[in-house]
Structure 1
Amino acid sequence: MPHDATAPEPVPLTLSMPSAPPAGLTDGLVRPLSEVPGAPLLDAAAPDVEVAEFLVVAAHSVGGFVARVDSGARAVGVVAATVAALCGEDIRRALTHPDVEFLRGLAPAAVEALRGVLLAIESETPDVIAKALEVLQTPSPPATGR
């Protein structure tokens, strides 16, 4: 069989800067109250059953929602309950007993799905809420002493 001496065609490559890392679970999630939230609004102070009903609909709707909270514990619960709604898990249990370790271990695609639904958490005390949500951040590995 004769050898083909023609040069192969060049393969075009597209080189670009890597995209920004995906948003973390709580990066930029908390903001002060706004008069026009820009999306359906969840009053997280509502009874648990009403919050769960809202989340069932929101998890399967286009456009996401904004939650208004008045405590850090409720903010963590809203994050957990939103994830539960997306996963088909017990929303009311997640709202009152968030599994922090599970939330810390969410894969990037799951975090992206959450952030596509839970657009923001608004509060009169955004710094307090942001501090409470720090519990959801993945801890850094310990430094080695070498």
Structure 2
Amino acid sequence: MNAEQRLAKIVGSGQECSRDEVDPLFARLQPVTCDFMLGTWRGGLFNDHDALAGMLLGMNWYGKRFTGPDHVEPLLCRSADGSLYSYEKLGLARLREVSFRGTVSAAMIYDQRPIIDHFRRVTDDLVVGAMDAKGQPDILYFHLTRTH
């Protein structure tokens, strides 16, 4: 089973997966362009018990919306009534191609925080992200599924 198949199976099953399991799979995924990322994506975590995941779970994180290269809503959340809203206390973001571990791919760069999310392709509608936050020793891996 290749990296794409393995990650699609993990995401599809909803099973938790450690950072140590995701890391080598992420390294084998193909890069994506900024245009590929345009649209709205539902997010998910590989490990809900990861220290960095707690913040996202606490804000009822839904996913991300990429409107254009200079306008990204990195933290779409669900309100109590189920509607989506952009949690902007951490700011907005932009989309650029950035090298991460030797591979140039689309990355989301927060406007006001030292955080970069690097993306790699699993399928046309599924990507894996690697959140690289300055001052955090670990990468938070997550997945995004295109909704439209």
TM-score normalised per structure 2? 0.29
Identify the structure with the greater helix proportion.
1
TM-score normalised per structure 1? 0.29
Identify the structure with the greater strand proportion.
2
Greater RCO, 1 or 2 (C-alpha within 8 Å, sep 6+): 1
The structure number with the bigger radius of gyration is 1
